[in-house]
Structure 1
Amino acid sequence: MRKPFVLATAGLLSTGLLAMGAHRLLARVPAAPTASRSAPSPLTAPAVKVTRDGVSLAFDLTLTPRPLEAEQGSPLQAVARVALTDARTGEPLAGRRPLAWMRLRPQGEPAPDDAACKARVRTYLGGLLSAQADVDFNAYWFLTLNHDQTVSVINPQIAFDRTKLQHLVSVGGGAADWALLPDRSALYVTVPSQDTVSVVDTQRFVVTRPLRVGRNPGRIALSPDGLTAWVSNDGDGTVSVIDTPGHAVRDPVDVGPGPHAFGFSDSGRTAWVSARDATALTALDVTSGQMLGQVEVGVGVTALAWSDVARALFAARPGAHEVVVVDAARREVSRRIPVKGGLDALRFDNTGRWAFLVHQDTSTVDILDAASGQVAHTLTGFSAPDSVVFTDAFAYVRNTTDSRVTLVELKTLESNGSTPSQVRITMGQRPAAEARELGRSDPIAPLPEGNGVIAAGNADRALFLYQEGMMAPRGTHLNYGREPRAVKVLDRSLREVEPGVFTARGSVRENGTYDVQVLLDNPRVVACLEWTVGQVPLDASFAKTLPLKLTPEFDAKRTYAPEETVPLRFRLEPTAGTGTPPVAPEEIRVLLFRTPGTWQVRTEPRRVADSVFEVDFRPPSPGQYKFVVGVEGRGLDLGRLPTSTLGVSSPLAAALTSESTP
């Protein structure tokens, strides 16, 4: 598995050999480009190569010059490329999962030897905020769509004694649905109360703009190529189409009273749109938005799904107790398949053959074989199921009145006359039905490795990490008091783009010589290389300096009492020489939390003097607490500024401790 779940990978280092690799200097910094609207040319150089333990490894880094419209101080974007081949045969080593980091070597420090390199990789795997790489090509976050108009960004790579909540993004209103662009550059969130789609920048984790769409936007779907996003405007019978490269909204298309559902055929060239109160499906050209035709299927379509196996579009009509099969090429109905009523979800597995029909009212799941056009299995024993997602091996069905998730083994669907294999895994303590609202988006997301999922525990206000083959979740991540209605995985780690070739994006802020560490899982190898960067503008390096200085004015060594309210005063002022303006109270977020434990408070401080602020601390019980300050708008996420540890014990215990101290 990739880095967030490979703390145990530190054990690889005991048998992995260290390779101190070749050296590579980039060419001189090119002359400043002339003003032009054309895309800047990338800066690259031949790869560094090294061979260890029968593995030939090549590493190179491509920098993209900063666009003219970029803000002063912005870093350069970089793409790392790692190529792995068998040293003897030259064949690519496909299917591996390498990890890579870059650390800027301080001036005068010698290149690390084998032991130092080994220790550095072990430190990165430990997940401490104080030991982060300058460039991390293994970034991996869980995103949750919450009940309180926010999106949580949880970093599972951070060690357990720190808060894992890296960002909290306010989307401007109650969220209905969301979609992550395939290049992972932005997240779209529909906000019905504002008639907008919020665009969340997934580099900075801020809303960059609201896109005005139709009335009461609900579901949102991406075309297979990711170049367009389709928004159901439930309040006015239209669909808005967003051209994702420029976040530009086209004129709305009238398709009939919503809510609407979407499906895509012809390798994503044709979009199909249903309207629940209309009798026809509408086919639209994805590129031009031109209407191609309509197919009469009857009123009440609630879901659409395309099957490559059947080369047909499947439409769910719960009220008519049927699934309508549409020949997309001829644009006509080819079959009507009778099914149970109360159809709450229709979705195909990754092969496009097996469609799962989820019936919440009857607590059953029908499995339709697209090859034959018939229901092949009817499964029972569910508890008001409402959604299904897939890995290559299993279907995951969420039960809403039971805290268990039902796994259906897909390979057992082929067995004629026998019941497919099922297993139920408990995810948390409370069923989803006890939450405020279940939401419309998927509450379970497959992990990129394909062998597990992350599941949102709505009522438990937590996430549960499950790996296939286990009988219980292997980990729990708190959502800090918020109900996660949906979950996604934002994965920026190295991905295989062709056999044996892996790439990932990162940001580079500073020129100099970098130590590059690459950890390979199979065979077990750690290769340490050197790469020198010389094209980063100086203002980007200056921006690395923290713009604000935090000075606690409370006594962190004092022992505090439970249930006692104490003001914690601190000074937060611009760092000398940075030219940073003073910070306002509304920009600051203070996090107080108990470790270990679930108690936490997030608040905005009050101003008591210029650059001096205060919050009230009222710990509920004895223990150890953390004081963390963040100013996200200034690039200071929680954890970047120094933190304080506060001890809390009963007055009697504190007195006894004081008396026993010599």
Structure 2
Amino acid sequence: MTVRTFKALAIATAIWTIGSVGHAPVLAANQVVAPPTTVDVPGRISDRLVRDGLVIDFEATPVESDAITEGLLTDVRFRITQEASGEPVKGVFPAAWLDVGANIGGKDGEIKECRDKVGLYLKGIVGIRPMLDLNGYYVLVLNKDPSISVVDPMVNMAGRTSTYAIIVLKRPPMDWARSKDEKTLFVSMPVADEVAVIDADHFKVTHNVPAGDNPTRVVVQPDGRYVWIGNNGLGEKSGVTVLDAESYKQVGFIATGKGHHEISFSDDSAHAFVTNRDDGKLSVIDVARLEKIQDLDVGKQVLSVGYSALAKAAYVADGKTGQVTVIDGETLEIRKRIQSHRGLGPLRVSPDGRWVLAANTLKDQVLVIDAANDQVVNSIDIAGEPFQLTFSRSFAYVRGLSTSKVSLINLSSLGEGKKPIVNSFDAGNKAPKLAGDLPLADTMTTATTDTSAFIVNPADNTTYFYMEGMNAPMSNYKSFGHVARAAKLVDRSLKEVEPGVYSTKVRLPVDGRFDVALMLDTPELVHCFSMSAARNPTMHQAGSWGIEFVDDRASGAVGEPTALRFRIVDPVSEEIKEGVRDASVAWYRAPAFERREAIAKEVEPGLYEVALEFAKPGAHYAFVKVPSLKINQENSRFRSIKVGAERVATAKTK
């Protein structure tokens, strides 16, 4: 079983269902560590593991500074090669986690503790998360109210997935899009005439950017440089606003025409194609100059547009005429008009560019065009007013307005003279249109395994997880306190950036030393590398309070209270905060046992104390929390405590 399959099965059996994930895989115990590799880049941390015929080189390299620093991006990568030949090992799907490092005991003890943590991460127990999960993803659910729910699909809580965070927006959302590196999310808010910019690492709104009149559709162009927003405004305010994807500043506004706007791009990002629904025109825009080149007559009610990199052409669907117009991507002229039936609406192009699918809501059909020759090759009956399309690697998912069913069209069965294979499953028991007004954002999104999907049913306020090949969803997540409308994933997994090199970029939330755990299933291997991050002075401005522990090191014994003392200090002015009433300390035995929490007492002005008690020996961690000062486990410094067995004298008196 591959790691990717394991993750998919873990989701299928544990996400949003009652019961536990099951046992973690058996972890390898013997690691042979070769001497660290030579560090030839300033600030880079590297190490090497040689075992079972494999060489694994670990590297952590600063991206935004000269040294690995809290709050800044760090490139984490594993280079896996064959020991004998030096050939890269491709397609192995390693799993990795980054967490607070152990400061006590010998190296063997640290590895065991880190390995124990990995077993718990895989079980998906509530409250036991690594600081950064480098494998999985979060499901973001767009709500009807001004919020986005962030769901951790690997955490099981009384049969329901844990809501990891709630992102509060300024106004209700309409559509959203990810940046190319998936580190940023852009969310349109028509009532506010703004786009919310969300840090997808920390799930926080960082900016609310003016985005023209009535911003609706949001699309990031293929090269990631610009964010395009469709403005459903009146008169000259109807068109597209263009934002720089890094600075978030507006770089242009282009008036295009009347009505709602859909947006697509050539694969090289040279041209943008913008529909004008009420004008019956398609505007072609030169992206480099941000100028409209021409308007093409493509119908009377232009509803959608998609671009095929394979055919080098844009395909435009018109609802009134029932035509699909093909625009040559090089000459920018109409090269063909394909006549179908009135009622054409959503149009999507398969990821490989081969198939163009257009849903006909009135006729309950999906039209299939072969982009290789611009010929209609299939007309597939899909009941329930099909209105949304999305793709996985092997299937087209079709959603109907008046049915709870989701239809799956097998892409390999499409083509001239072939009979398409269509299966379906129920995503709930209510039709989506019963929910009333729906946003532009898709109610369906494929998972990172590309063989599964998440489907939101707005009518029953539930998000369903479906694995391809099954007859029904494997599990579901009910939105409590919010009305779910759409779903999107934030992928945190390692990606193979070159043969045998698996990499991701992370933003370390705090400074200190960290364990980076790596797991392979063939050969069965778990190993923990180490790295550290320097303190970032710019993150500790005057007025932003931090924790300063009084003792350099702490130790304790089972059965004996141990005093943990700390101050709350402004790192810039060095002011000590007095009179805090809501400070508390949470502590637990590594990796995540015997969690306890106690309120801190101010024993003298500005000095706070908690008496820690320990049930068993081992490594313990303590974190300070002060809600009134926004200090929590995510941003607080930690204290490691070495706890020994009961002292002899104490034991004899019992």
Q: TM-score range by the shorter chain?
A: 0.7 to 0.9
Task: Assess, with a 3 A threshold, how the Cα gap between structure 1 residues 631 and 215 changes in structure 2: closer, same or farther.
Answer: farther
Task: Assess, with a 3 A threshold, how the Cα gap between structure 1 residues 323 and 538 changes in structure 2: closer, same or farther.
Answer: closer
Are residues 1:533 and 2:535 paired? no
Read off the aligned partner of 1:527 and give its amino acid letter: V
SS in 2 for 1:164: strand
Deviations 1:383-413 (A, max 9, x none): 1111010011000001222222100100011
Aligned residues: 553
1:504 shift after superposition: 1.5
Question: What is the CA–CA distance in structure 1 between the aligned matches of 2:462 and 2:635, rounded to whole Å?
Answer: 21
Task: Say whether the 8 Å CA contact 2:24–2:122 is kept in structure 1.
Answer: no
SS in 1 for 2:268: helix
| Structure 2 match to 1:326 | 327
Task: Say whether the 8 Å CA contact 1:295–1:331 is kept in structure 2.
Answer: no
1:526 shift after superposition: 2.1
1:247 shift after superposition: 0.6
Read off the aligned partner of 1:53 and give its amino acid letter: D
Question: What is the CA–CA distance in structure 2 between the aligned matches of 1:347 and 1:211, rounded to whole Å?
Answer: 29
Are residues 1:224 and 2:222 paired? yes
2:150 to 147, 150, 153: 153
1:231 shift after superposition: 0.9
| Structure 2 match to 1:259 | 260
| Structure 1 match to 2:568 | 577
Question: What is the CA–CA distance in structure 2 between the aligned matches of 1:630 and 1:6, rounded to whole Å?
Answer: 39
Are residues 1:13 and 2:25 paired? yes
Question: What is the CA–CA distance in structure 2 between the aligned matches of 1:638 and 1:17, rounded to whole Å?
Answer: 31
Question: What is the CA–CA distance in structure 2 between the aligned matches of 1:583 and 1:286, rounded to whole Å?
Answer: 55
1:209 to 203, 207, 210: 207
Task: Say whether the 8 Å CA contact 1:496–1:503 is kept in structure 2.
Answer: yes
Question: What is the CA–CA distance in structure 2 between the aligned matches of 1:66 and 1:50, rounded to whole Å?
Answer: 27
| Structure 2 match to 1:108 | 104
Task: Assess, with a 3 A threshold, how the Cα gap between structure 1 residues 55 and 160 changes in structure 2: closer, same or farther.
Answer: farther
Question: What is the CA–CA distance in structure 1 between the aligned matches of 2:372 and 2:71, rounded to whole Å?
Answer: 51
Question: What is the CA–CA distance in structure 2 between the aligned matches of 1:576 and 1:403, rounded to whole Å?
Answer: 57
SS in 1 for 2:412: helix
Are residues 1:496 and 2:493 paired? no
| Structure 2 match to 1:338 | 339
SS in 2 for 1:252: strand
Question: What is the CA–CA distance in structure 1 between the aligned matches of 2:227 and 2:34, rounded to whole Å?
Answer: 45
What does 1:150-549 correspond to in 2, within 5 Å? Answer: 150-161=147-158, 164-235=162-233, 236-265=237-266, 267-414=268-415, 416-508=416-508, 513-521=513-521, 523-533=522-532, 535-537=534-536
Deviations 1:110-130 (A, max 9, x none): 223575454232012123354
Deviations 1:42-78 (A, max 9, x none): 7214x3222222322111111346699xxxx953432
Task: Say whether the 8 Å CA contact 1:217–1:232 is kept in structure 2.
Answer: yes
Task: Say whether the 8 Å CA contact 1:13–1:526 is kept in structure 2.
Answer: no
RMSD: 3.5
SS in 1 for 2:471: coil
1:269 shift after superposition: 1.1
| Structure 2 match to 1:59 | 58
| Structure 1 match to 2:615 | none
TM-score, normalised to structure 2's length? Answer: 0.77
Question: What is the CA–CA distance in structure 2 between the aligned matches of 1:247 and 1:307, rounded to whole Å?
Answer: 28
Task: Say whether the 8 Å CA contact 1:158–1:164 is kept in structure 2.
Answer: yes
Question: What is the CA–CA distance in structure 2 between the aligned matches of 1:636 and 1:436, rounded to whole Å?
Answer: 40
Question: What is the CA–CA distance in structure 2 between the aligned matches of 1:148 and 1:638, rounded to whole Å?
Answer: 27
5+ residue gaps, structure 2 = 14-20, 549-565, 571-576, 583-624, 637-654
| Structure 2 match to 1:132 | 129
Read off the aligned partner of 2:524 and give its amino acid letter: V
Task: Assess, with a 3 A threshold, how the Cα gap between structure 1 residues 540 and 325 changes in structure 2: closer, same or farther.
Answer: closer
Task: Say whether the 8 Å CA contact 1:444–1:487 is kept in structure 2.
Answer: yes
1:289 shift after superposition: 0.6
Deviations 1:269-325 (A, max 9, x none): 111212112244222222331233333334321111111232211111111111111
Question: What is the CA–CA distance in structure 2 between the aligned matches of 1:451 and 1:418, rounded to whole Å?
Answer: 23
Read off the aligned partner of 1:81 and give its amino acid letter: R
Deviations 1:409-454 (A, max 9, x none): 000113x434211111122232212223332111111112211111
Read off the aligned partner of 2:186 and give its amino acid letter: Y
Task: Assess, with a 3 A threshold, how the Cα gap between structure 1 residues 532 and 482 changes in structure 2: closer, same or farther.
Answer: closer
1:631 shift after superposition: 6.1
Task: Assess, with a 3 A threshold, how the Cα gap between structure 1 residues 291 and 299 changes in structure 2: closer, same or farther.
Answer: same
Deviations 1:213-264 (A, max 9, x none): 2211111111111111111110131210011011111231111112112121
1:483 shift after superposition: 2.6
5+ residue gaps, structure 1 = 29-40, 548-574, 586-628, 641-662
Deviations 1:583-621 (A, max 9, x none): 999xxxxxxxxxxxxxxxxxxxxxxxxxxxxxxxxxxxx
Task: Assess, with a 3 A threshold, how the Cα gap between structure 1 residues 278 and 527 changes in structure 2: closer, same or farther.
Answer: same
Task: Assess, with a 3 A threshold, how the Cα gap between structure 1 residues 633 and 423 changes in structure 2: closer, same or farther.
Answer: farther
Task: Say whether the 8 Å CA contact 1:511–1:535 is kept in structure 2.
Answer: yes
Task: Say whether the 8 Å CA contact 1:511–1:532 is kept in structure 2.
Answer: no
1:364 shift after superposition: 1.4
Task: Say whether the 8 Å CA contact 1:354–1:368 is kept in structure 2.
Answer: yes
TM-score, normalised to structure 1's length? Answer: 0.76
Question: What is the CA–CA distance in structure 1 between the aligned matches of 2:628 and 2:459, rounded to whole Å?
Answer: 28
Task: Assess, with a 3 A threshold, how the Cα gap between structure 1 residues 260 and 281 changes in structure 2: closer, same or farther.
Answer: same
Read off the aligned partner of 1:205 and give its amino acid letter: F
